[in-house]
Structures are given as structure tokens and as C-alpha cells.
């Protein structure tokens, strides 16, 4: 059972919400970005203090029904609640662009993602502290925050919480193809795991997910909505922040435009917290005069603080899904069309049962393919098959075993293309610049093929679609490298562009304060000095929880 929601005392009406009366223009705290991190920070600051809090989101409220039904996340990603940031042609991907979808809706990525709850490895956070100078971010420091946020329906132990806001559950109904892929992976010598967020990550099994009883458990749903009636919390959607106002070296407010294009200026008496994500947070810093001096000067932006690392250190998990046809109709092709769609809809309407209550990406594996003793490839199992980047889904029943890099070494960069806030960033992805990332994907593809070849799957698996029978995956095969470069894709985990560290060159310090500027913090996945070994939704909310602690002096 889900643990009871932590209750905070309601506050006396000291501030008036914009939804009730005319819009206020001054707040104690302004949070820019209503994604997963922003929802957590906004909810916690409002609930744990008497301060006035404004949460500003570029997108709309999460009114889209596709956002809330777990199985329709792919429709949410194709709606106005998501946007795609596209890189320059990437020479490491045969000059193909690298598109990265992002949530643009209240809840951000947590409202449009695949709902896999994975924190990463303990050593990831120990490395943040020991190798990247992020004092106070070791695993022993961050685990209590994960636990306090979590309402786990399956586990109650030293690694999990049951009293938090975020419902974390075992996926249901469990798809038979995913179950067969788990068995086939065990047959390849990978140990079975019942908890990727427990004592150790390695293994294969069912994921934990942020979907429960037919409802997506987004940050907006779990953290923000219970606090919306607080009179010290104002949520402003459809508002685009264009610049941070800085007086001397102190952040004092923001300049924005509302949905009609009218200019809006809001003042912050205490702090501004950027939670706009790995693309928008560095963009706002640069537009506001905080960034590489040569870039800012080129576009006529006054340099307030020369910060060369703003926009640098871009990283993302990269995947190449090995795809096989399915015999018969065991997959999910056509499940959203015709009579099948009506049947699934009827099941969902009658008690939120059936396929629509599933996050679809229910199972996977974290495997040490290099012999280092530490998992370096994550495999997502899918009883369906999206097509190559930029193409429609495959028009037949298929399954994928999707290997992806867990700790990529390649680094890209974001810079401005102009001083106009409406213009896109210039995005240099360089996704396979480091040869080790290509080698990691080679190993992952070889194991994925081995999984598909196990006897457990012979009765349901047909011919290989990708890489295809003509591609030799043996060591030394150049044809495999060419195929990887053409097929590599984002795993929707951009990070690192406002990295945290203990040196003045880092964008933020270990309490997430922007170096060189007072009263300005960043709380989102852009502060990660290195990607965690797994999905980024849970770590992003953890970062936001710690940011609230820092702001409140706890």
C-alpha cells in the first residue's frame, strides 16, 4: 500500500494567488521552470515556509489526457506539451542531427516520459563528491532525500521510503514478451534482480515505475497539486522568461512575456531558482550576461560574469535498439487503432485496468559488459518498436532490446545563436566523440543479439530488423560502427550544462548557488557533473529536494 502523504500545515492567507485576483509582481522566491524539479522546489518552499513563491512555466497546465494515462506517453510526446531541440549536423553520427525531445508542460519530463524510476548507482554520487568536488553529494547524503520523497508500494527497507509524495510501483499488467526477455537474459548469465534501486544495480528484471492504478505519477501530480490551494504559492503557465534581472551581482527579478506576448516583470526579494532544464537554464544564464565572454560579446550582450562552462559539458545517454519481428500478434502494434483501441479504452474506463494503465517500458537490465564489476549498459525491453529517429513506428509487430550507454564520456556544447530569446540555441551534440561510447554500444548490441537468440524466445521471435542480417557484429566489424552512427538516438536524458563543482570555474557550487552571482541558484539536471547510471527523473527530483533544503537553510 502507498504510504500516507506527508501533511504540512496550511498557512494563513498572507499572499494572493494569481488565479484568484490580479497578478502580483513581487515574490520572495521565483522559480523559473515548472518541470519535475520546479514542481518539487515550488511545492516544498511553499509548504515549508511562509514565503511567497512564484513558479513560472513556459508550457501550459497538464490538462492533456495523454499526459495522465500511462500508456499514451508517446502521444503526449507528439503533442504541444513537448518540443524537440535539434543539434547541428553531428560529425560523430555521419553528420545526422541529434534530436532531443523535451517536456514543455507543467511537470516537464515527468509528465511525458516513460515513467521508469531508477536512481543510478551509489558510486555515481560518490564520484560526484570524490572526483568532481561536489561535497555533500555522496550516496549517503542523497539517499535520505530519495527515501523521503518516495511512497514505494512494493519495498519498505533501508533503500526505500513509504511516506513520501512520489508513488513508485511495480508495473502492471506485466507483458508476456517482457517476461520472456527477462528469462532470456537470465539464460545469458545475467542475475535476476527485484530492485534496481536497492543494494546493487546489476541484474535483469521488472522496473519500478512512476505509474500506479492507471495514473501517471508526475511531479506536478504528486508534489505540486496537493499544495495549489496554498495562498503563498502562485503558478504561472504559458509565460516565457527571457532574462534574469541582475543589479550589480545580485539577481533581483525576471523579465518575461505572457501567452499574448505582453511584457511582464517580476521581482524576487530573496532568491531566483532556475529549474528550466539542461537547455533552457544555460540559455537564460547566457541571455542574462552569465556565460562565455566571447559568445556574449559576439551577440552584443553585456558580460556580467564570464563563465566559460555555461553550456559546456552536455551529455546524454545514447541508445541503439536491436529490433526483431514478432511472430503472431503478441506485440503492441495497432493497439491504439480500431477495435483493439476500443477494447483497451473500455478496460481502462472500467476501473483503469488493462494496457492503458501500463507504462509499456516495464522491464530491463543493467549489465557489466566491460568486466569492470560495474554495470555500464542499460537495456530497455519493449514489446513494440519505434522506427529510426525521425521516422514513424514500424508497421508490424516487433520487439526491441535497447542497449544504451550508462556513463557516456562524449561531451557536447550549447551556445547562443543570437541575443533574441525566441531563437533556438546552437547545439553541438558530439554524441559519439569519445571512442569508448561507440565501444560500449558495440558490446550492448552483441549482448542484445544474444538475448534474442535464446531458446526461450524461439517460438515468438522472427527475423532481425536492425542491425539486420547483413551487419556483422563481431569485434573489428566496420559495418557495425556505420550502422550505430546512423541509428543512435537520445534516451531523453540531457544533463550537465551548468555543472556543479567546488572550483570557481564550475557554474554552481555544491549548494547550487551560481558562482559570481548572488541570490541565484540552479536546481535541475543541468547541474549534474556527470550523468547517473540510469534514468534521470528520480535524480532530478532529488536535486530539487536538496535545493529546497539549501534555500531554507536546512
Q: Which residues are catalytic?
A: 493
As a 3-state breakdown, the chain gives helix, strand, coil percent values, each rounded to 5, of 30, 25, 50
Phi-psi group of 328: left, alpha or beta (phi > 0 → left; psi -120 to 50 → alpha; rest → beta)? left
**Gap between the Cα atoms of 165 and 3, Å rounded:** 8
* Helix, coil or strand: residue 412: strand
Spell out the residues 6+ positions from residue 528 whose beta carbon is closer than 8 angstroms to its own: 128, 495, 496, 499, 500, 536, 539, 543
Q: Angle at which helices 139-149 and 122-132 pack, to 10 degrees?
A: 130
**Gap between the Cα atoms of 150 and 128, Å rounded:** 22
Q: Angle at which helices 537-551 and 36-48 pack, to 10 degrees?
A: 30
Q: Is 3 exposed, middle or buried (0-12, 13-18, 19+ CB in 10 A)?
A: middle
Q: Cis (ω within 30 of 0) for the bond into 137?
A: no
**What pairing do the DSSP bridges indicate for beta strands 398-405 and 461-466?**
unpaired
**Gap between the Cα atoms of 457 and 34, Å rounded:** 43
**What pairing do the DSSP bridges indicate for beta strands 26-32 and 215-216?**
unpaired
Spell out the residues 6+ positions from residue 391 whose beta carbon is closer than 8 angstroms to its own: none
List, in sequence order, every beta strand (DSSP E) within 263-347: 263-274, 290-291, 305-306, 318-319, 322-326
- Write out the DSSP string of 478-543: HHHHHHHHHH-EE-S--B-TT-B-SSTTSSB-TT-BBTT-BTEEE-SGGG-SS--SS-SHHHHHHH
Compute φ and ψ for 541, nearest 5 degrees.
-70, -35
Cβ 287 vs Cβ 416: under 8 Å: yes
**Gap between the Cα atoms of 126 and 292, Å rounded:** 29
Cα→Cα distances 454→94, 191, 341, 458, Å: 33, 15, 32, 7
- Which three cell numbers mark 54? 512564484
Cβ 212 vs Cβ 169: under 8 Å: yes
Closest CA to 541 of 36, 16, 3: 36
Side-chain half-sphere exposure of 255, counting CA atoms within 13 A:
11
| Neighbour count for residue 439 (Cβ, 10 Å) | 16
**Gap between the Cα atoms of 278 and 33, Å rounded:** 11
List, in sequence order, every beta strand (DSSP E) within 425-482: 426-428, 461-466
Amino acid at each position: 500500500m502507498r504510504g500516507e502523504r506527508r501533511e504540512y500545515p496550511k498557512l494563513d492567507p498572507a499572499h494572493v494567488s494569481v488565479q484568484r485576483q490580479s497578478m502580483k509582481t513581487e515574490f520572495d522566491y521565483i522559480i523559473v521552470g515548472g518541470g519535475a524539479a520546479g514542481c518539487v522546489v515550488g511545492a516544498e518552499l511553499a509548504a515549508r515556509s511562509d514565503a511567497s513563491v512564484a513558479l513560472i512555466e513556459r508550457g501550459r497546465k497538464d490538462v492533456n489526457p495523454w499526459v495522465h494515462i500511462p500508456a499514451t506517453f508517446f502521444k503526449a510526446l507528439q503533442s504541444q506539451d513537448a518540443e524537440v531541440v535539434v543539434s547541428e549536423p553531428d560529425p560523430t553520427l555521419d553528420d545526422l542531427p541529434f534530436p532531443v525531445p523535451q517536456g514543455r508542460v507543467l511537470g516537464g519530463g515527468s509528465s511525458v516520459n516513460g515513467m521508469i524510476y531508477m536512481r543510478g548507482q551509489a558510486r555515481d554520487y560518490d564520484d560526484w563528491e570524490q572526483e568532481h568536488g561536489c561535497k555533500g553529494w555522496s550516496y549517503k547524503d542523497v539517499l535520505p532525500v530519495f527515501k523521503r520523497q518516495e511512497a514505494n508500494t512494493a519495498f519498505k527497507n533501508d533503500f526505500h521510503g513509504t511516506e513520501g509524495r512520489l508513488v513508485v510501483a511495480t508495473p502492471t499488467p506485466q507483458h508476456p514478451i517482457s517476461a520472456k526477455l527477462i528469462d532470456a537474459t537470465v539464460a545469458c548469465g545475467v542475475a535476476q534482480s527485484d530492485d534496481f534501486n536497492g543494494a546493487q544495480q546489476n541484474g535483469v528484471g521488472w522496473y519500478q515505475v512512476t505509474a500506479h492504478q492507471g495514473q501517471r505519477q508526475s511531479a506536478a501530480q504528486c508534489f505540486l497539486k496537493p499544495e495549489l490551494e496554498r495562498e503563498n504559492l502562485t503558478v504561472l503557465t504559458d509565460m516565457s522568461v527571457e532574462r534574469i534581472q541582475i543589479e550589480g551581482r545580485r539577481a533581483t527579478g525576471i523579465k518575461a512575456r505572457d501567452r499574448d506576448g505582453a511584457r511582464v516583470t517580476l521581482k524576487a526579494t530573496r532568491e531566483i531558482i532556475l529549474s528550466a532544464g539542461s537547455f533552457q537554464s544555460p540559455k537564460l544564464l547566457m541571455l542574462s550576461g552569465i556565460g562565455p565572454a566571447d559568445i556574449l560579446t559576439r551577440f552584443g550582450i553585456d558580460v556580467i560574469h564570464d563563465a566559460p562552462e555555461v553550456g559546456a559539458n552536455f551529455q546524454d545517454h545514447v541508445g541503439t535498439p536491436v529490433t526483431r519481428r514478432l511472430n503472431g500478434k503478441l506485440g503492441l502494434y495497432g493497439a491504439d487503432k480500431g477495435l483493439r483501441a476500443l477494447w483497451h479504452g473500455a478496460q481502462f474506463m472500467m476501473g483503469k485496468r488493462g494496457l492503458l494503465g501500463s507504462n509499456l517500458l516495464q522491464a530491463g537490465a543493467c549489465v557489466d559488459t566491460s568486466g569492470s564489476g560495474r554495470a555500464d549498459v542499460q537495456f530497455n525491453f519493449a514489446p513494440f518498436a519505434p522506427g529510426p529517429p525521425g521516422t514513424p513506428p514500424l508497421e508490424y509487430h516487433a520487439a526491441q532490446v535497447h542497449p544504451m550507454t550508462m556513463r557516456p564520456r562524449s561531451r557536447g556544447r550549447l551556445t547562443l545563436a543570437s541575443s533574441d530569446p525566441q531563437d533556438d540555441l546552437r547545439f553541438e551534440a558530439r554524441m559519439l566523440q569519445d571512442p569508448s561510447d561507440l565501444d560500449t554500444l558495440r558490446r550492448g548490441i552483441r549482448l542484445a543479439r544474444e538475448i534474442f537468440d535464446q531458446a526461450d524466445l524461439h517460438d515468438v521471435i522472427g527475423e532481425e530488423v536492425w542491425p539486420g542480417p547483413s551487419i556483422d557484429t563481431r569485434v573489428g566489424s566496420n559495418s557495425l560502427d556505420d550502422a550505430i552512427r546512423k541509428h543512435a538516438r537520445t534516451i531523453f536524458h540531457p544533463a550537465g550544462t551548468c555543472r556543479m563543482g567546488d572550483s570557481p570555474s564550475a557554474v554552481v557550487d555544491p549548494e547550487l548557488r551560481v558562482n559570481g552571482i548572488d541570490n541565484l541558484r540552479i536546481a535541475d539536471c543541468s547541474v549534474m557533473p556527470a550523468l547517473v547510471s540510469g534514468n534521470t527523473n528520480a535524480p532530478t527530483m532529488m536535486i530539487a529536494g536538496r535545493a529546497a533544503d539549501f534555500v531554507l537553510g536546512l
